Amino acid sequence: MALPNPAPIADGMVVSIHYTLTDDSGSVIDSSTGGEPLEYLHGHGNIVPGLEKELAGKSIGDSLKVSVAPKDGYGEHDPRGRGKVPRSSFPDDMEIEPGMQFAGEGPNGEEHVVWIAAVEADHVVIDQNHPLAGRTLHFDVQVATVRPATKEELAHGHAHGAHGHHH
Ligand code: ZN
């Protein structure tokens, strides 16, 4: 039985990829190896722009290596985004560890995400920069599946996946 022509990746397609992300020294930062592929809706900014751009036009089975500069990844690291808050501004019984992520509120009530960078005796160092800001990202990617998005996925701007609707 002949396989259908592989559909190229374009805006409005749901794509799943296996990937390994390494830093400049070759250390693995993240990988889907041994797990589920990462599924995303192409053309909606679900993944970093530098990788999304390179995946356009690829199809099932294609492999690619992409190096993404900070400006096309998680942005440059802005030192002004880093600050200290008293440990007492978090509940006493809350476990706080570097790498944790919180939704905070800006001066104008806008929501933004902060990451815990370090925990000291009296202070917690928080950072509004993504932990990978300022880093060049090296992706080794294989395209696992490509399918048209459903109407609901397009309306929501993200993929819903084979296991139902997760938000
Ligand atoms: Zn949704």
- Residue 133 in tokens: 């800001």
Q: Does domain 13-74+132-156 have CATH number 3.10.50.40?
A: yes
Q: In terms of pLDDT, which residue wins out, 166 or 33?
A: 33
Distance CA 9, CA 55 (A): 7
Residue 13 has pLDDT above 90, yes or no: yes
Q: Please give the radius of gyration of the chain, using alpha carbons only, rounded to the nearest integer.
A: 19
Cα 39 to averaged position of ligand 1 atoms, centre (Å): 13
Cα 14 to averaged position of ligand 1 atoms, centre (Å): 13
Distance CA 46, CA 9 (A): 14
Q: Which CATH architecture has domain 79-127?
A: Beta Barrel (2.40)
Cα 15 to averaged position of ligand 1 atoms, centre (Å): 15
Mean of pLDDT values over 61-72: 97
Which range has the top average pLDDT, 82-91, 146-155, 158-167?
146-155
DSSP 150: P
Distance CA 140, CA 65 (A): 5
